[in-house]
Each structure stands twice: as C-alpha cells, then as structure tokens.
Structure 1
Amino acid sequence: MKRYLVGGAVRDERLGLPIRERDWVVVGATPEEMGAAGYLPVGKDFPVFLHPQTKEEHALARTERKTAPGYRGFSFHTGPEVTLEDDLIRRDLTINAIARDDDGRLVDPYGGQRDLDARLLRHVSEAFCEDPVRILRVARFHARFASLGFRVAEQTLTLMRQMVDSGEVDHLVPERVWQETRKGLMTDSPGTYFRTLHECGALARIMPELAALHGVPQRADYHPEVDTLVHVLMCVDTSAALQLPLEVRYAVLVHDLGKGATPQQEWPSHRMHDMRGVPLVETFSARLRVPSACRDLALVHTKEHLIIHQALQLKPSTLLGLLERMGGFAKGERFEQVLQASVCDARGRLGFEESPYEQADYLRAARVAANEIQAAQVMADGISGAAIGEALKERRTRRLKDWKAQQQAVRQPDSM
C-alpha cells in the first residue's frame, strides 16, 4: 500500500500558490486494509477514506467506464491491481494529473509539469469528453489562472466544442452548473470563465440569456466597447477587482439581460431594458437554482440601475421611492450592495474603468438625510395607524427637498 498526494495540492505547490486542500490516492490497497489501518470510510460512489489523524481524504486508485450520458454516467473499479497511472489518466487536465509520494518524488506520466511551465490547460486523454462538467472546470481554471498567463490548448477547445455539438453538455444538472459558476465568479478574472464557455459554444446552451447579448450593439457614446456581452463581462471583472461578494458579482452578471430582448429595429438604443430584464433574471436564476440572496439583489439592481444612474436629477419624492426600493430604510447590506453593483456597471465600459461615480455618495448622503425622520417622531405627534406611513413619507420628502436645496447651493459657483 502506497499513497500519493495528487491534484490541486501538487499543482498549486508547483505554481507557488497557497494549498487549499490536500487529496491523496492510495495504490495497492483494499477497503478492508484501509479500515484495518484506521482510515474512516466516507465515500458513497467509490471508496474514499479519511486519515485517522489529519482527516484528509484518501481515495483508492480507480478506473472509470462511461455507461450513460452526463457526469453521473460512470461505473468505477478499484482494486490493488489499479496503478497510479491508471488513476491519473482519467483526470481532466494534465496540470491536475501530477502526483507526489511521501518522499517528495513526482510522478508525472502525462506532461503536467511541462504544461505548467507553458501555462497551458490541456486535457489528459480522450476520456475528457465523457464528462460535461469538465467544460465548466476548464473555464473555471482558465479564470482562476488567467492572471498567470494560462490559456486553453486548442486541441482541448476542439474537444469542448465537440461535446457541445454532440449534446453531452445538455446533460449538465443545474446544481453543478451553479457550483462551478459560483466558483468562477469568485476568481480574480470571472469574465474569463464566461468568455471560455462562449468560445466553445457552451454558454448558449447553459446560459442562453447571457449568450444572447453577444453581438448586440449599444450606443457608442455611452458604451465605446459597443458589444453588450463585452460590457457585461467588463462589469463582472470590475466587481472582482473591487473584491465584492458573490451576491454583487451575480447581480452585475445579469443586470443587462434585457438588452438581449430589445427588438433589432431599436438598436443601438435599449429603452425599457431594465423592465425587459426582470423576467429574464427570474428565469435565469430559477433554472440554475441560484441562492435567493443572489437572485433578490439581482432583481433589485436590474429594476433600478437606470434610475440610480440618474440619481442627481431626481425630484425629492422620486428619490425617496428609490431609496425605499434599494433597502435604504431596512437593516442589512442590500442598499450598499446595489450601489456597488451600480459602480461596476458604470466602470465596466471601455475608457471608464477608473471613472468616479458621484451617484453612490449622493445616494448615501440622501439616505442619511431621509433617515433623520423616524416613525417614532411621527407617532410622538399623535399620528397613528395607517396615517403613520403617509406622514413619514411626506416628512422625509420635505427633508430631502431641503437637503437637495443645500446640495445645489454647495454646487453653485460663487456669483460674486
């Protein structure tokens, strides 16, 4: 019985990156021998054990055989006769098929070190095309390692396109698509995840609402990048540069889906794309089973992002309504997250990457001013029942009117 450190731990160690987790393959052992050595069985589909001290996962070396479409359609075989090379050849990418024994010796039968040096994401064998999840994983690794200069090998892209054309990608289940997409969104270059899926054709199959933005023009005076998909992915990359949370990154990803539904005769204008986008965000989120926190923020931002950009021109009553819908008077982070998403939308444009976004501080200050008026003050004046809400709205509107007048006075140049 011999064990080998495999996968991401070996890869990241060779790249000089922090090791997130350590997985092991055990060769020459049976489940009974693992149990006798004190390992705890945890695997459901094939024998996986936890080390009695470190609790790190140790899987018996295995071979796989494709038995049905999709990523679940495999049968597995383990046994003392299965070699390390047999196990490694079934892995997705060569950079993930390097092993290291307890003495520090590397086992690299498929050129993983060479591809690490070449910054290449390359499939190990033709078995790659049997598992559609590998399309998502390649896109995610591309996004994760884009800053290091990695690219997808052309032969691997060809296999990915063949998997799309053959319908293999259509067997992906929503939970797995979201699991990989969530990880892709949280990389330093999330736009690369979606660009890679688009390049191989998978984006149109699993996220058609997003793929529909490709080639849809926008007004060049507002959007010098013109193409709507280019803009959206620039926005997503901006959210990563600002190190924003998953909820904001998702809201940014889907905020312009409505532009894909604009009639072509109206191009490059996209009036009402905010309202057109709402049902598309709902459908997109439901199909991928996106967490409610991501979906709800995305819906608010999709509905409100146009009026947020116009915040400085809003009259007091309209401004108050916007603050309410953004969650400005409720507990939680919703208000600030909507503003963060709006900043990404404004900066995700060619030539505007570092531009200031005055609307954010303006709305924050308006929120503070409106919050000076509380329901307790209204009730202290003897107002009760349903009249409290109306009185509160009226007083907050008057406060915002005074506040706006003060803001305008500050902005006016000295006439003397």
Structure 2
Amino acid sequence: MNIYLVGGAVRDRILNITSKDNDWVVVGATPEELIDAGYKQVGADFPVFLHPKTQEEYALARTERKSGHGYQGFSVDFGKNVTLEEDLIRRDLTINAMAQDENGNIIDPFNGQQDIQNKILRHVSHAFCEDPLRVLRVARFAARFHHLGFRIADETISLMQHISASGELKHLTAERVWVETQRALHEKSPWVYFDTLKKCQGLKDTFTELDELFGIPQPEKHHPEIDTGLHSLLSLEQASLLSHEGDVRFAALMHDLGKGKTNPEKWPQHIAHETLGLKPIKAMCKRLRVPNAYKELTLKTCEYHTHIHRAFELKASTILKVLKQCDAIRKPERFAKLLLACEADAHGRTGLENTPYPQAPFMQRMLDACNQVNNQDIVATGVTGPELGQAIEQARLKAIAKQKELEKQSS
C-alpha cells in the first residue's frame, strides 16, 4: 500500500497558496484493508475513506470509463492493480494531476509544474471530454487564478466548445451546476467564470437568460459599453470589488435580465425592464435551485435598482414606498446588500468605474431616519388598530422629509 497527497493540495503548495483541504490517494489496497486499518468508508459511488485521526479523505486509486450521460455516467474500477498514473490521467487539468509521496517528491507525469510556470490551464487527456462538469470546473479555475495571469489553453477551450456543442451540459443536474457556480461567485475574479462559459458556448445551456443579453444594445450615453451582456459582466466585476458575498455578486450580474425581454423594435431603450426581469429571474432560480437568499436579493435589485439610481429625485413618499417594498426596515442587512449591487451596476460601465455613487449612503440615511421613529411612543398616545399603522407611517414619512431637508440645506 502506497499513499500520496494529490490534486489541489500539491498544486497550491507549488503556487505557495494555503490549501484548505488535503486529498489523498491510496494505491495497492482494498476497501477491506483500509477498514481493517481503522478508516471509515463514506463514498457512495466509489470507496472514499476518512482517516481515523485526521478525518481527511483518502480515496482508492481508480479509473473511470464513460457509460452514460452527464456527471454521473461513468463505470468505475478501483481494483488493487490500478496505478497512480492511471488515477492521475482521469483528472481534469494538468495542474491538478500531480501527486507527492511521503518523502516530498513530486510525481508529475503530465507536466503540471511546467504549466504552472507558464500559467496555463490545460486538460490532461482526451478523456476530459467524457465529463461535461469539467466545462464549469475549468471556468471556475480560470476565475480563481485569473489574477495570477493564468489562461486556458486554446486546445482546452476547443474541447470545452466540443462538449457544449454535444448537448452534454443539458444532462448536468441543477445541483452540480449551482455548486460550481456558487464556488465561482466566491472566487477572486468571478466574472471570468461566466465569460469563459460564454466563450466556449456553454452559457446558453446553463444560464440561458444571461446568455440572451449578449448582443442587446443599450443607450450609449448611459452605457458606453453598449452590449447588455458585457455590462452584466462588468457589474459583476465591480461587485467583486465591493463585496465578498455571493448573493451581492449574483444580484449585480442578473439585475438586467429584463432587457432580454424588451421589444427589439424599442432598442436601445428598455422601458419597464425592471419588472420584465422578474419572471426570467424566477424561472432561472427555480431551474437551478438557487437559494432563496440569492433569489430574493436579485429580485429586489432587479425591480428597484433604477429607483435607487434616481434617489435624489424621489419624493419622501416614494422613498418610504421603496423602503417598505424592499422590506428595508425589517431586513436592513439585505437592503445594504441591495445598495451594493446597485452601486456595482452604476460602476459596471466602461469609463465610469470610479464615478461616485452617493445614492447608496443617501438611501441608507433615509432608512436610518425611518428607524429613529419610536413605535412605542406612538402606542403610548393611545392610538390603536388601523390608525396605529397610519400614525407610524406618517411619522416615518415626516422623518424622511426632515432628513431630506437637512441634506438639502447642507449641500
């Protein structure tokens, strides 16, 4: 029995990056031998074991052969005679197909170290095409390592395009698509994930509603980049500078889906795109089983981002209406995220990335003014029933109007 550290842990050591997890491969052993040694089996599709002390994952060396559609359409052999190289060749990228033995020696049969040096993301073998999930995984690694200067090899992009053209992406489960996407949203450069999917024609079978935005024009006066799809990616890029939260980044990316539903005869105008976008957002989130926190923030951002952009033009009554409909008083943390997504939208325009966005702190101050109203003081006056709610609303309206006047005087 021989045990090797494999995959991302080896890659990250070479890159001098702290790795979260260690993965190990066991060569020349059977499940029974590991169980007898105190390991606990947890793998359902193939034997994966937890170390009795460290609880790290140890997998038997295995080979895979395509036997069906999608991510799970494989037959697996984890026999005692499977070699380390046979295990490594089934992996996605050369930088993930290295191993390290107990003496610290690197086993690198597919030149992963050279590709790290050259900053190339390259597939290991043609077996790459057998697993459609690898299109999303490579796009995620592109997002992770973009800031280090990594790029995807041309021949790997070609294989990703081949997988997309085959229709195999349609067989991926919603859970797998979302797991990769959520991870990508938390990477250093999340927009690269979606840009890569677009370049390999994989966006249309995963995020159809977003794919439809590319090629749709916007008024050049407000959007020098013109293309709505490009604006969406730029908004995500800006969101990643403002927040590490995945839901903020997702909301910024998807806030303009309604522009894919406006009448082409009206282009480049997009009247009522705020409400037109609600239906495709709901459809996408349902199809991909997007968490409610992501969905609700995206819906609110879609519907109210133009209200926030025009905050200084709004009457006190309209501001209160927006705060209520965004549920800002009950959910101030989510409203703060909405303001970040709106700021990302405003900055996600070519040449306007550093434009001040005073609307966000202004709307936050309006909310703060609302929250200064003491409901118990109003209750103490003896008002009850429907009149109580009306009295609270009038007090909030008065507080917003007073704050607006103070800001007008100080400007």
Q: Are 1:26 and 2:53 matched, yes or no? A: no
CA distance in 1, matches of 2:217, 2:281: 20
Q: In 2, distance between residues paired with 1:326 and 1:244?
A: 22
Q: Secondary structure of 1:205's partner?
A: coil
Match of 2:128 in 1: 128
Q: Are the equivalent residues in 2 in contact too, given 1:95–1:116 (CA < 8 A)?
A: yes
- Which structure 2 residue ranges, 5 or more long, are not aligned? none
Residue 329 of structure 2 contacts residue 371 of structure 2 at CA under 8 Å; is this kept in 1? yes
Cα deviations across residues 311-360 of structure 1 (Å, max 9, x unaligned)? 11111111111122233311451111111111111111111212211111
CA contact (8 A) 1:375 1:388 kept: no
TM-score (norm. length: structure 2): 0.98
1:204 aligns with 2:200: no
2:8 equivalent in structure 1:
8
Aligned residues: 411
Structure 1 spans left out of the alignment, 5+ residues? 412-416
Tell me the equivalent position of 2:327: 327
* 1:386 counterpart SS class: helix
Q: Which moved more, 1:370-379 or 1:112-121?
A: 370-379
| Cα displacement (A) at 1:265 | 1.4
Q: 1:378·1:388 contact (CA, 8 Å) conserved in 2? A: yes
**Post-superposition offset of 1:372:** 2.3
- Give the superposition deviation at 1:244: 3.1
Alignment-derived partner of residue 81 in structure 2: 81
Distance 1:182 1:57 in 2: 23
**Equivalent residue, structure 2, for 1:140:** 140
Displacement after TM superposition at 1:171 (Å): 0.6
Distance 1:103 1:366 in 2: 63
Contact preservation (8 Å) 1:63, 1:78: yes
Report the counterpart of residue 218 of structure 1 in structure 2.
218
User: What are the Cα deviations for residues 172-220 of structure 1, in whole angstroms up to 9, with x where unaligned?
Assistant: 1100000000011111111100000000101011111000111111111
- Report Cα offsets for 1:11-61 as digits up to 9, x if no partner: 111111111110011111111211222222111111111112211111111
Partner of residue 290, structure 1: 290
- What displacement does 1:370 show? 2.1
Partner SS state of residue 64, structure 1? strand
Q: 3-state SS of the aligned residue for 1:75?
A: strand
Measured after TM superposition, the shift of residue 295 of structure 1 is: 0.6
CA shift at 1:76, angstroms? Answer: 0.7
Partners of 2:401 and 2:38 in 1: CA distance: 73
In the TM superposition, residue 392 of structure 1 has moved relative to its aligned partner by: 1.4
Q: Residue 414 of structure 1 corresponds to which residue in structure 2?
A: none
What percentage of residue pairs aligned between the two structures are identical? Answer: 48
1:278 and 1:302 in contact (8 A); partners too: yes
Q: What is residue 92 of structure 2 aligned with on the other side?
A: 92
2-side partners of 1:340 and 1:373: how far apart? Answer: 25
Aligned letter for 1:239? A
Equivalent residue, structure 2, for 1:37 = 37
- Conservation of the 8 A alpha-carbon contact between 1:232 and 1:348: yes
Matched, 1:162 2:151: no
One-letter amino acid of the counterpart of residue 286, structure 1:
K
CA separation in 1, counterparts of 2:121 and 2:272?
A: 41
CA distance in 1, matches of 2:396, 2:84: 70
Could you tell me whether the CA contact under 8 Å between 1:49 and 1:57 is conserved in 2?
yes
CA contact (8 A) 2:243 2:340 kept: no
Whole-angstrom distance in 1 between the partners of 2:86 and 2:116 = 21
Q: How does 1:38-117 map to 2 (within 5 A)?
A: 38-117=38-117
Tell me how far apart the structure 1 counterparts of residues 407 and 43 of structure 2 sit (CA, whole Å).
63
Give, in whole Å, the separation in 1 of the partners of 2:51 and 2:150: 34
Contact 1:188 1:241 in 2 (8 A): no
Distance 2:326 2:340 in 1: 12
Aligned residue runs from structure 1 range 240-389, under 5 A: 240-389=240-389
Give the Cα separation in 1 of the matches to 2:369 and 2:28: 71
**What is the identity, as a one-letter code, of the residue corresponding to 2:307?**
I
